[in-house]
């Protein structure tokens, strides 16, 4: 089977690496990938637009396309490929509203009977301001933009003044409606399912680190590291997670919206149990780099089962080891300007799995070109052991201005 992975980040590197392990995969390309992936033995093809990817797949008789980033999921790529008879593992752009509209997502969660924060919807500034006026602020209020906002559309507001500001800023930047949500208190985790339209397998759980430093009020990033599995859920919680996914898929199915693709639940474990904060219609970055190396089951076979609606009797087995993934970022990340263009030096004997993201080639050398540059995943018999191994290796990497958080997996 000939496979294409669409994307160019660390998540796609981990996906491609895992798919390459499958005996059923004869050829594999990452489109467009990055030159760091090529160094680790993956083939990259310099095609990026939907037209280019379609043409590449036809020219190379590609059988299966696995899509990483949400932008490609929301594009017409799947439709194009399907009309050419090429399987594309990704949700349809329509059902991807689960991520691109928080209001749509809330509606599905409510209809499915999946616990989620109580929420009011302000369709205009006036209405939103009226609602926040009624909140007593003994608990914070969460103000959320409806659409995609690249991690900048959610404000947790401790005071009426802050909530007013949130309504004004988010309203003018992203428009209305805004969601005004009850603030949940607890620990966050991510759970990942692989879905065939009706059935699913639970891939596993992970926890990521969103802030640039250990200070919980420091800047929000795409993710500075992760570990897998989540270490504070019980077997009972895992059963609940499966029920959440099952109910959500059944609800979508009943609305003629069958969901095929990876499904990522952002959850909060509170004193009252698990709540879904949001769904994303793709795998997480960097959670994928922590999760996939733990997969024992052949990922390509699971995806083939999914695109042929045959997941019903499949299971996903994970290695007993725990993983820790640590990301190295460029100076200036996340606010910018980024200090880029510096050679990425790697001492020999990096023993763990290295995943490349924001790198490019300059005068035959690999240089940093983005915010998140690369990451290392280590497996260990405990989180502590995995952590030691991951940090040993990330410190063999250096480029001018390189920064890593030192507390991943603590």
Ligand X SMILES: Nc1ncnc2c1ncn2[C@@H]1O[C@H](COP(=O)(O)OP(=O)(O)O)[C@@H](O)[C@H]1O
Residues that bind Mg ion (CB under 5 A): 266
Question: Is beta strand 225-228 parallel, antiparallel or unpaired with respect to 178-182?
Answer: unpaired
Selected range binding ligand X among 6-14, 161-169, 177-185, 355-363, rule: CB under 6 A? 177-185
CB of 50 to ligand X, least distance (A): 24
Selected range binding ligand X among 26-34, 150-158, 201-209, 285-293, rule: CB under 6 A? 150-158
Nearer to ligand X, 49 or 139 (CB): 139
Contact 405, 224 (CB under 8 A): yes
Which among 297, 314, 301, 248 has a CA at the least distance from the CA of 89?
A: 301
Residue choice 115, 147, 266, 401 for contact with ligand X (CB under 6 A): 266
Which among 28, 50, 37 has a CA at the least distance from the CA of 8?
A: 37
CB of 299 to ligand X, least distance (A): 25
E strand residue ranges, 130-170: 141-145, 154-157
Which among 46, 36, 45 has a CA at the least distance from the CA of 3?
A: 45
Instruction: Select from ligand X, Mg ion, none the partner in contact with residue 183, using the beta carbon and a kind-dependent cut-off of 5 to 8 Å.
Output: ligand X
Residue 218 CB neighbours (<10 A): 13
Instruction: Select from ligand X, Mg ion, none the partner in contact with residue 291, using the beta carbon and a kind-dependent cut-off of 5 to 8 Å.
Output: none
CA distance linking residue 130 with residue 142, whole number of Å: 15
- Helix 160-174 crosses helix 125-134 at what angle (to 10 degrees)? 160
Nearer to Mg ion, 107 or 266 (CB): 266
Say if residue 358 is preceded by a cis peptide, omega within 30 of 0. Answer: no
The DSSP output letter for 403 is B
Nearer to ligand X, 9 or 36 (CB): 9
Nearer to Mg ion, 57 or 277 (CB): 277
CA distance linking residue 95 with residue 311, whole number of Å: 19
Contact 375, 360 (CB under 8 A): no
Contact 5, 16 (CB under 8 A): yes
Selected range binding ligand X among 4-12, 159-167, 179-187, 307-315, rule: CB under 6 A? 179-187
CB of 161 to ligand X, least distance (A): 19
CB of 272 to ligand X, least distance (A): 13
Instruction: Select from Mg ion, ligand X, none the partner in contact with residue 286, using the beta carbon and a kind-dependent cut-off of 5 to 8 Å.
Output: none
Task: Rule CB under 6 A: say whether 277 interacts with ligand X.
Answer: yes
In the region spanning residues 70 to 129, those forming contacts with ligand X, defined by CB under 6 A, are 117
Contact 68, 9 (CB under 8 A): yes
Contact 323, 293 (CB under 8 A): yes
Residue choice 151, 175, 214, 273 for contact with ligand X (CB under 6 A): 151
Nearer to Mg ion, 197 or 371 (CB): 371
CA distance linking residue 273 with residue 359, whole number of Å: 41
Q: Which residue's beta carbon is nearest to the bound Mg ion?
A: 266
Q: Residues with Cβ < 8 Å from 313, sequence gap 6 or more? A: none
CB of 157 to ligand X, least distance (A): 11
CB of 154 to ligand X, least distance (A): 4
Task: Rule CB under 6 A: say whether 169 interacts with ligand X.
Answer: no
Selected range binding ligand X among 19-27, 81-89, 146-154, 322-330, rule: CB under 6 A? 146-154
Size of the site for ligand X (CB under 6 A): 14
Nearer to ligand X, 167 or 394 (CB): 167
Nearer to ligand X, 29 or 245 (CB): 245
Residue choice 45, 156, 160, 360 for contact with ligand X (CB under 6 A): 156
CA distance linking residue 122 with residue 176, whole number of Å: 7
Task: Rule CB under 6 A: say whether 142 interacts with ligand X.
Answer: yes
Nearer to Mg ion, 9 or 36 (CB): 9
Residue 109: Cβ-neighbour burial (10 angstroms; 0-12, 13-18, 19+): buried
CA distance linking residue 376 with residue 190, whole number of Å: 19
Residues engaged in binding ligand X (CB under 6 A): 117, 142, 151, 153-154, 156, 181-184, 188, 266, 277-278
């Amino acid at each position: 089977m000939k496979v294409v992975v669409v994307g160019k980040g660390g998540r796609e590197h981990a996906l491609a690496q895992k798919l390459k392990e499958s005996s059923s995969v004869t050829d594999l390309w990452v489109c467009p990938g990055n030159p760091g992936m090529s160094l680790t033995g993956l083939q990259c093809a310099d095609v990026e637009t939907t037209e280019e990817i379609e043409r590449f797949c036809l020219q190379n008789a590609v059988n299966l396309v696995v899509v990483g980033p949400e932008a490609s999921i929301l594009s017409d790529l799947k439709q194009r490929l399907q009309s050419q008879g090429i399987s594309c593992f990704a949700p349809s752009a329509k059902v991807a509203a689960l991520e691109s509209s928080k209001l749509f997502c809330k509606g599905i969660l409510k209809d499915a009977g999946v616990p989620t924060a109580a929420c009011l919807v302000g369709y205009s500034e006036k209405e939103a301001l009226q609602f926040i006026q009624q909140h007593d602020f003994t608990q914070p209020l969460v103000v959320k933009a409806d659409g995609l906002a690249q991690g900048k559309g959610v404000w947790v507001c401790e005071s009426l003044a802050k909530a007013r500001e949130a309504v004004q800023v988010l309203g003018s930047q992203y428009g209305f409606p805004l969601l005004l949500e009850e603030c949940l208190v607890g620990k966050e985790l991510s759970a990942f399912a692989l879905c065939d339209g009706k059935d699913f397998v639970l891939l596993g759980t992970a926890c990521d680190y969103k802030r640039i430093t250990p200070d919980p009020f420091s800047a929000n990033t795409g993710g500075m590291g992760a570990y897998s599995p989540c270490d504070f859920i019980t077997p009972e919680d895992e059963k609940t997670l499966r029920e959440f996914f099952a109910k959500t898929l059944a609800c979508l199915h009943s609305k003629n919206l069958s969901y095929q693709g990876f499904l990522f639940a952002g959850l909060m474990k509170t004193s009252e149990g698990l709540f879904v904060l949001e769904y994303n219609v793709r795998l997480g970055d960097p959670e994928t780099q922590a999760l996939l190396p733990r997969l024992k089951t052949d990922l390509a076979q699971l995806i083939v089962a999914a695109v042929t609606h045959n997941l019903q009797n499949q299971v996903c087995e994970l290695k007993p080891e725990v993983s820790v993934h640590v990301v190295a970022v460029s100076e200036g990340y996340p606010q910018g300007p980024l200090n880029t263009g510096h050679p990425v030096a790697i001492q020999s004997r990096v023993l763990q799995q290295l995943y490349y993201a924001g790198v490019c080639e300059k005068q035959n050398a690999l240089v940093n070109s983005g915010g998140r540059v690369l990451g290392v995943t280590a497996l260990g018999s405990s989180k502590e052991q995995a952590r030691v191994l991951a940090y040993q290796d990330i410190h063999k990497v250096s480029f001018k201005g390189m920064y890593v958080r030192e507390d991943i997996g603590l």
